[in-house]
Structure 1
Amino acid sequence: MNNLRVQLVKEEILSDNWYTLRKITFKYQRKNGVWETQSREAYDRGNGATILLHNPEKNTIILTRQFRMPTYVNGNTSGRLIEACAGLLDNDNPEDAIRRETEEETGFVVTNIRKVFEAYMSPGSVTEKLYFFMADYSDSTEKRSGGGIDEEDIDVLELPLPQAMQMITEGEIVDGKTIMLLQQLCIQQYQVA
């Protein structure tokens, strides 16, 4: 990272419990040439990957449902969130990491993974970059143990794509990465039609 308009001054670790929360003090040169000192807190949890599994023959998708504490404290009364399979890279490349997460969370073993795009999900406070993938599955796709493994308490959901899109409208699917992947799948289907 070498940006002539940014000079790091000091970095403090505020918390290193679940992930790392840092306070970063820096000098930033504004467009008018004036330098000012600022500080921001940045939450570093590592980069991650997410995937949407789609069955083109049935036009169904695979999502998961699991408890997410941050959503619970922000008004999600059950704390359970419907979302696309996802996980941290844990020092793997994004494709290997999402293969691992797909098998652990859904039980599906997918081979035709396609990268769709990358995005920072909350760049004002979180360092994480998320890698987005899609893959096809079918009734004959190999399944292994996983998909609701006891440690993670995950439900695996197979839904028709139109129903999933309606669930966004009705506020049942409120996870950003999931909405982005579902919309991307709809765009791809529209372009093919």
Structure 2
Amino acid sequence: MPPIPPPFQIKDVEVTDRSTSFKGFFTIEQLTLKHRTFDGEWLGPFTRELFRRGEAVCVLLFDPKRQTVVLTEQFRVGAIDDERSPWLLELVAGMVEDGETWQQVAQRETQEEAGCQFYQLIPICDYWVSPGGCDERVMLYCGLIDSEQVGGVHGLAQEHEDIRLVTLSLEEAKQALADGVINNAAAIIALQWLQLHHKQLLSELTD
């Protein structure tokens, strides 16, 4: 099998014009650009709209002692037409602000949305959410917690947050995935990661 060829780089794209089409809670830019093609030529120039969302951090809260996960439940306008409910079961999550590291965001959002702190933070992966037209990049973590006193409703009033915490056993979380009750990318990826690495994780914690 031939090796995978190296990918193109940023230098293989030329942006000749960039303007802001909309600026509100989010920003939409219009770009005129061209890029190299696989046959060695150039494609373009052409225009694309880019939804500027920025970087986000999501944390799966896992209690290894009780074998439970703690999820958030809140209204999401993007899911307003969801047949089941626009209130989604998700991970603790937040946007990266200027000067913040991913780890700092994970710590801040865990406190704000769940009222607790993790004692260990394990990287899962980072991924582009919808790169066909959005620049949002998500960093996923698993945060190990003691969930005994974790629960209730949280969030910042000034950010119009109303976040209820939901604690599920690993089996309940697995069934919620199978039933489509958990239906957002970050939670699906993180919970599937936990299923794959659960035994190894517990082994490492008890060594």
- TM-score > 0.5 by shorter chain: yes
State whether structure 2 residue 80 is matched by structure 1 residue 69. Answer: no
User: Residues 179-190 of structure 1: matches in 2 within 5 Å?
Assistant: 179-190=188-199
Matched residue, 2:178: 169
Residue type at the aligned position of 1:186: Q
State whether structure 2 residue 116 is matched by structure 1 residue 135. Answer: no
Matched residue, 1:159: 168
Q: Distance in 1 between matches of 2:200 and 2:120?
A: 20
Matched residue, 2:6: none
Percentage of pairs with the same residue: 26
CA contact (8 A) 2:95 2:105 kept: yes
TM-score (norm 1): 0.89
Question: Cα offset for 1:112?
Answer: 1.3
Q: Distance in 1 between matches of 2:147 and 2:53?
A: 35
CA contact (8 A) 2:129 2:137 kept: yes
Question: Cα offset for 1:111?
Answer: 3.0
Matched residue, 1:122: 130
Indicate which of 60, 65, 80 corresponds to 2:68: 60
Question: Cα offset for 1:5?
Answer: 2.2
Matched residue, 2:95: 88
CA contact (8 A) 1:103 1:144 kept: no
- Give the aligned length: 190
Q: Distance in 2 between matches of 1:144 and 1:162?
A: 19
Matched residue, 1:4: 11
User: Residues 107-118 of structure 1: matches in 2 within 5 Å?
Assistant: 107-118=115-126
Of stretches 87-96 and 27-36 in structure 1, the one that deviates more from structure 2 is 27-36
Q: Distance in 2 between matches of 1:4 and 1:49?
A: 28
Question: Cα offset for 1:167?
Answer: 0.6
Residue type at the aligned position of 1:23: Q
Of stretches 58-67 and 33-42 in structure 1, the one that deviates more from structure 2 is 33-42
CA contact (8 A) 1:104 1:145 kept: no
Q: Distance in 2 between matches of 1:157 and 1:176?
A: 18
Query: What are the superposed Cα offsets for residues 75-116 of structure 1, whole Å, 9 maximum, x if unpaired?
Result: 345311110111101121000011100110111122311222
CA contact (8 A) 2:129 2:136 kept: yes
| Greater than 2 Å deviation, 4+ residue runs | 2-5, 75-78, 143-151, 190-193
State whether structure 2 residue 30 is matched by structure 1 residue 30. Answer: no
Q: Distance in 2 between matches of 1:50 and 1:76?
A: 25
Gaps of 5+ in 1: none
3-state SS, counterpart of residue 18 of structure 1: coil
Question: Cα offset for 1:147?
Answer: 2.7
Residues 189/122 of structure 1: CA separation in 2 closer, same or farther (3 Å cut) = same
3-state SS, counterpart of residue 124 of structure 1: coil
Matched residue, 1:78: 85
TM-score (norm 2): 0.84
